[in-house]
Structure 1
């Protein structure tokens, strides 16, 4: 799994755990729905850390909570 897919999967996982939709997250995080859609549909080449931080704020978690999963710990280094 690559980093972009890991980010998208984590967002979906966290939304499900909180019983909210990506659209609701958009409102809570003040991130455009189109931005979240592009991340979830693997259209975003680089979901920036500022965007991920806003999403974390909307989910009421820290950045370290977002990335503290086996999926991110086991990602291969991307050199491209």
Structure 2
């Protein structure tokens, strides 16, 4: 499968799924440990959330026991193109 360029939303969703897989937790489990509602996580993962807030991502990071810097410090985020609307 060819790597298609991602937008920021897709990169965030992919990073959350990767971290869940690495830690052996489900998105519902992530909801429990991060205090982020399941509906919010589902919305981010399904691309329905147009702009997941920094506070939400920080709570998810707290659940994963990582910093915001660790969340965003990946080749995927480094390769994102500038999004100008």
Q: TM-score, normalised by structure 1?
A: 0.99
1:76 aligns with 2:58: no
Shift of 1:35: 0.1
Task: Give the one of 55, 64, 71 matched to 1:59.
Answer: 64
Equivalents in 1 of 2:36, 2:20: separation in Å? 14
Residue 37 of structure 1 corresponds to 42
Equivalents in 1 of 2:52, 2:45: separation in Å? 10
Equivalents in 2 of 1:38, 1:3: separation in Å? 14
Q: TM-score, normalised by structure 2?
A: 0.93
- For structure 2, which runs of at least 5 residues remain unmatched after alignment? 1-5
Task: Give the one of 35, 47, 55 matched to 1:50.
Answer: 55
Task: Give the one of 7, 10, 21 matched to 2:12.
Answer: 7
Structure 1 segments, 4+ long, off by >4 Å, are: none
Count of matched residue pairs: 80
RMSD over aligned Cα atoms: 0.3
